[in-house]
Chains A and B, each alone.
Chain A
Amino acid sequence: MSVIRFWCVATLLCCLPSLLGAQAPSLESAIQLLESNQVDAGVAMLESLASQDPGSEASRILGVILFRNGQLAPAYPHLRAWTDANPSDRGTRVTAAAAAVQLGRVPDAEALLDGIPVTSGPAIRLLWAEIHYARNQPDKVLETLAPLANGSQPPAIDLQRRRLTARAHLLQGDLAGVRATLDGHTNGRPLLATLLAEAHYREGNVAKAASTLEPHVGAADIVPAVVKDLGAYLVQAGRHQDALPHLERAVELDPNDAASWQNLSRARFALGRRDEASVAATRARELQAQEKQGSFEELERLASLDDPVDAALKESQRLAENGDTEAGLARINKEIALVPNEARLHAAASRLLLELGRLDQAFEAADQTVRIEPERGDAWVHRGNVHLAQGNLDAAEADFRKATTLAPKHLAARNQLAVVLAAKGDKDGARTLLDAILNEHPDNQVARANLARLDES
């Protein structure tokens, strides 16, 4: 987060003179509101301006403000809109790259940093190190950060340099490297303390792991891992009584953390509090049962690094298949906030909304798909499906016909068109379509089922 703040402060400061000199009256008004500490009103005005003119100065300012407040997901589309329109603005590209890294959009970050030499400054090195870390390339992380180890760096840079270096060593299994990086540098830095404690633990020194974290318990609100990990280490060390308050704090900070509930059940059980242990154990099992990923999570994360939209679609599909359609939709909406013009996302949202029976919203999503990719047959099929669900047969027919015009062999379009024609009483027209499909694809079960229904009616 410090890297983010570093960049956003720098970027905001550099843009302020131009903000103050902005000519557009509404932009000027927004800036005046911000300067007079009416932040909400100023941001609202900027949002209005940015939505009217994506890529304008309003987008840039809004993106930077949101970024500075740690609202990375809302900031990112505005920053991207600006950098797409103004690729020569290196400062904002770096800010956008920082956001992209934090949001797991590694290829975006790489593209945004393209042409900006790693030697441009420590923050650029940190960003590249973050990218290498996300790509599971610890050697490159260490190579990139090595020049920063010489000489003194600002505290924020030093913190991030040590954090990333330690993580790279952990990835390599070089626990001595972690200690060399962090020993004597964790005072007041709870995040680094958690990494050093992990190294001690993985070296088999549970007591040292616990004692490394104990001074940082007060920072649990900022870094909840302090109490979560400390509780776990103390349980491993057999210090169940000592572990108890930390684990209770951990589940208070994150009531959905199965691991802390599990360790809490162990501590309570060891202390003879069996009923309370059962409560915690049941909670842990319930949460663990909900945590199904349906995938080789880390392996797929690395493999999907280059297509975050696809990763989001897959995750959404898994959630929906597991019966949580709302969660699947939320995952899609989260991605839409980052990439508003990706038709695949709107199409997926439309499907899920249709499933949930929210037809108006399903139509909006499908309509957005058509607006983004009017030349793709799929887009029209999605919208036609919503029309069909709404009972708008004429509109559905028009959309399916449009789809077949764009993609004459589109199976779903032709099948759905047949359904509409049948519903409108044009059985011959429907039969002609279905016969044509089955002539080309004798195994098409949808067409066969539609034809059977047609014969029965």
Chain B
Amino acid sequence: MVIWRLVRVLGLATLTGFSAVPSGAAEIVLADASATWHIDIRHHHAGSGELYMNETMGAGVAIFDYDGDGDSDVFFVDSNVLPGYTGPTPRSRLLRNDGPTRFVDVTDASGIEVTSYGMGAYPADIDNDGDFDLYISAFGADQMFRNNGNGSFTDISAQSGVDDPRWSTAAAFLDGDGDGDLDLYVARYVDFTLDNNKPCGLLDKGLRSYCHPDVYEGEVDSYYRNRGDGTFENASATAGITAVSEIEPGKGLGAVASDLDGDGALDVYVANDMTVNFQLQGKGDGTFEDVALFTGTAVSDLGENEAGMGIGIGDVDANGHFDLFVTHLDLQTNALYANQGSGIFADRRFVSKLGEPSLYKVGFGTAFADLDHDTDLDVVVANGHIIHNIEQWGNGSTYKQANQIFENLGDGSFAEAEAGLEAVRSSRGLALGDLDLDGDLDLLITNNDDRAEIYENQTRTGGWLQLAFVHPGHGLGYRVEVTSADAEQIREVVSGSSYLSQHEPIVHVGLDKANKVDRVVVRTPTGHRFALVNPPIDRRLVMSTARP
């Protein structure tokens, strides 16, 4: 029997006297916190005019508690020097959360040196020792850093077996075979290298631009089985991942692990750029079958390939099933695939009013999140074009684009909210987490070759509850049902999603006017269940089993 215990309750001290504020139609308010939180991070694409394709894809950000002190830290991915580049040396950075609103750069002490051209950051406990290790997807060999448990990391890229030199982008950890450790899915993009860089764009008009992904071939994704000791074997063929690419490999930019069909086994969804998306139905034994073309998540509502970038996941219509939101290129519109619960998804991009406002945007990072604690999930989208000189193409598009927040109106539709996302840059990564431990979700946005944005959520809202898991596996893949007076909410501790980024791996629910939670039921991917009855609210509950 697995014994769960509550190891920590956060929020009691800091939030004494905090009471639930009836939200009604609370206005979402975000405020730039870069200066006050001491976060001054800039991404470098390290280009020199050669227009290498990787320069325009940006990089991600991850929120996770690397030092186990209860608050989440931040890791920003940066690139690396490309031929001809003469600017400041790019460096991925780890920022430690030293109490509310103060972040300190601890990259040197951490020992994390990203030597590849970094793309995404994915934390997970690969060796089941209770702390977060860190996987870096890259243009070039991927890297794995083992957490030493004392605030430092060791580069174990070679021995971990995941240092594939092909261009990787998104990744997701999941216990795909139910053996209690976390396996790894890695989405690959295209076979572009610095040596096969092709001239693209409107060359006859003197407008050289970054290439369309169709100029290059897609790459087969990877599935790595954890041997149980934090090293991995490439199980792509036996898992059925190689077969998925038989007709055509994908060009993955987004990936997430989630139990989409509710059968208890984790599935993987991959957003591909101008090739069909994959919905890999997990069998629970480490094998997968692509069912996207049947379920309706492979292509657009009208059956056409789209430029899949980022992924949002959550039960946006509160029907008990996880829905998908996929961001796309301009002139395509972002897609909301609403899970009908019968293995079928309906494309509700226009019904939801999420499609039309994205027509002239290029969407990347995204998230479903209850920003105003009214119990339903709102949508955040980070936007920015990939063609750096698109203004000169003369079609009205811009490279820098405003980011968007859509408030869930509770009737299946959304309305764009003026929430304070004022900066206009070419955004890529997006991660959400409660960085100041005040009960609501704050935002981190990365921008290509530009400074990152940090937004504190200042929405005056109703009650809330957060659940964080320590051991085993920090709860990645756990499904949580929260029942309160007015709502029944399901959430998941999600690995992956968004774009090259990792949201804080916790469960966060808004409670609106409810002054108590009746019950919390947690289901693990290995089939265990446990429940909390009448847990305290307006708190973060930290759960763990005994460590081995």
Query: Which A residues form the contact surface with B (CB < 8 A)?
Result: 136, 173, 201-204, 206, 229, 232, 235-236, 238, 258-263, 265-266, 269-270, 274, 277, 281-282, 284-286, 288-289, 291-296, 298-300, 302-304, 307, 310
A285 and B293 contact, Cβ closer than 8 Å, known pairs A202-B356, A262-B303:
yes
* Beyond known contacts A263-B303, A299-B397: 15 more, CB 8 A cutoff: A173-B356, A204-B350, A204-B353, A204-B413, A232-B302, A238-B340, A259-B299, A259-B300, A261-B303, A262-B303, A288-B305, A289-B275, A292-B274, A298-B331, A299-B331
* Nearest chain A residue, comparing its CB with the CB of B300: A259
State which of B214, B304, B359 has its C-beta within 8 Å of the C-beta of A259.
B304
CA distance A258 to B304 in the complex (A): 7
Identify the 4 closest CB pairs spanning chains A and B, nearest first.
Answer: A259-B303, A269-B294, A204-B351, A262-B303
| Chain B residues near A202 (CB-CB < 8 A) | 350, 355-356
A310 and B204 contact, Cβ closer than 8 Å, known pairs A204-B350, A262-B298, A299-B393:
yes
A259 and B340 contact, Cβ closer than 8 Å, known pairs A266-B293, A294-B214, A296-B387:
no
* B2 CB–A CB distance under 8 Å: no
Say yes or no: A236 contacts B347, CB within 8 Å: yes
State which of A265, A293, A298, A304 has its C-beta within 8 Å of the C-beta of B214.
A293
Query: What is the CB-to-nearest-CB distance from A452 to chain B, in angstroms, rounded to a whole number?
Result: 22
| Chain A residues near B110 (CB-CB < 8 A) | none
Please indicate which of the listed interface residues A202, A232, A238, A282 has the most CB atoms of chain B within 10 Å of its own CB.
Answer: A202
* Nearest chain A residue, comparing its CB with the CB of B247: A285
| Chain B residues near A229 (CB-CB < 8 A) | 302
* B112 CB–A CB distance under 8 Å: no
| Chain A residues near B294 (CB-CB < 8 A) | 265-266, 269-270, 274, 277, 281
| Chain A residues near B296 (CB-CB < 8 A) | 235, 266
* B344 CB–A CB distance under 8 Å: yes
CA distance A294 to B247 in the complex (A): 18
* B84 CB–A CB distance under 8 Å: no
| Chain B residues near A291 (CB-CB < 8 A) | 305
Say yes or no: A293 contacts B304, CB within 8 Å: no
Query: Which B residues form the contact surface with A (CB < 8 A)?
Result: 200, 202, 204-205, 207, 212, 214-215, 247-248, 274-276, 293-296, 298-305, 329, 331, 340, 342, 344, 346-348, 350-353, 355-356, 359, 387, 390, 393-397, 413
Query: What is the CB-to-nearest-CB distance from A222 to chain B, in angstroms, rounded to a whole number?
Result: 20
Consensus secondary structure, chain B interface: loop
| Chain A residues near B397 (CB-CB < 8 A) | 299
Please indicate which of the listed interface residues A292, A299, A310 has the most CB atoms of chain B within 10 Å of its own CB.
Answer: A299
Query: What is the CB-to-nearest-CB distance from B165 to chain A, in angstroms, rounded to a whole number?
Result: 25
Interface Cβ pair total, 8 Å cutoff? 111
Say yes or no: A173 contacts B359, CB within 8 Å: yes
Say yes or no: B202 contacts A300, CB within 8 Å: yes
Query: What is the CB-to-nearest-CB distance from A399 to chain B, in angstroms, rounded to a whole number?
Result: 27
Query: What is the CB-to-nearest-CB distance from A287 to chain B, in angstroms, rounded to a whole number?
Result: 10
Say yes or no: A288 contacts B276, CB within 8 Å: yes
| Chain B residues near A298 (CB-CB < 8 A) | 331
A304 and B302 contact, Cβ closer than 8 Å, known pairs A204-B351, A235-B296, A293-B212:
no
Say yes or no: A236 contacts B301, CB within 8 Å: yes
CA distance A173 to B361 in the complex (A): 14
State which of A136, A260, A282, A294 has its C-beta within 8 Å of the C-beta of B212.
A294
Say yes or no: B202 contacts A304, CB within 8 Å: yes
A259 and B302 contact, Cβ closer than 8 Å, known pairs A173-B356, A204-B350:
yes
| Chain B residues near A263 (CB-CB < 8 A) | 302-303
Say yes or no: B353 contacts A295, CB within 8 Å: no
CA distance A31 to B100 in the complex (A): 91
The 14 listed contacts between A and B (C-beta, < 8 Å) are: A202-B356, A203-B350, A232-B302, A232-B303, A236-B347, A238-B344, A260-B303, A263-B303, A266-B295, A284-B303, A289-B275, A295-B212, A299-B397, A303-B207
| Chain B residues near A274 (CB-CB < 8 A) | 294
* Nearest chain A residue, comparing its CB with the CB of B387: A296
A204 and B352 contact, Cβ closer than 8 Å, known pairs A136-B395, A281-B294, A291-B305:
yes
CA distance A260 to B300 in the complex (A): 12
Say yes or no: B304 contacts A289, CB within 8 Å: no
* Nearest chain A residue, comparing its CB with the CB of B210: A296
| Chain A residues near B247 (CB-CB < 8 A) | 282, 285-286, 289
Say yes or no: A265 contacts B350, CB within 8 Å: no
| Chain A residues near B302 (CB-CB < 8 A) | 229, 232, 259, 263
| Chain B residues near A303 (CB-CB < 8 A) | 202, 205, 207, 393-395
Query: What is the CB-to-nearest-CB distance from B114 to chain A, in angstroms, rounded to a whole number?
Result: 30
Say yes or no: B298 contacts A307, CB within 8 Å: no
Please indicate which of the listed interface residues B207, B301, B352, B397 has the most CB atoms of chain A within 10 Å of its own CB.
Answer: B301
* Nearest chain A residue, comparing its CB with the CB of B331: A298
| Chain A residues near B298 (CB-CB < 8 A) | 262
Say yes or no: A258 contacts B352, CB within 8 Å: no
CA distance A202 to B353 in the complex (A): 8
CA distance A193 to B207 in the complex (A): 40
CA distance A307 to B202 in the complex (A): 11
Query: What is the CB-to-nearest-CB distance from B250 to chain A, in angstroms, rounded to a whole number?
Result: 11
CA distance A232 to B276 in the complex (A): 17
| Chain B residues near A258 (CB-CB < 8 A) | 303-304
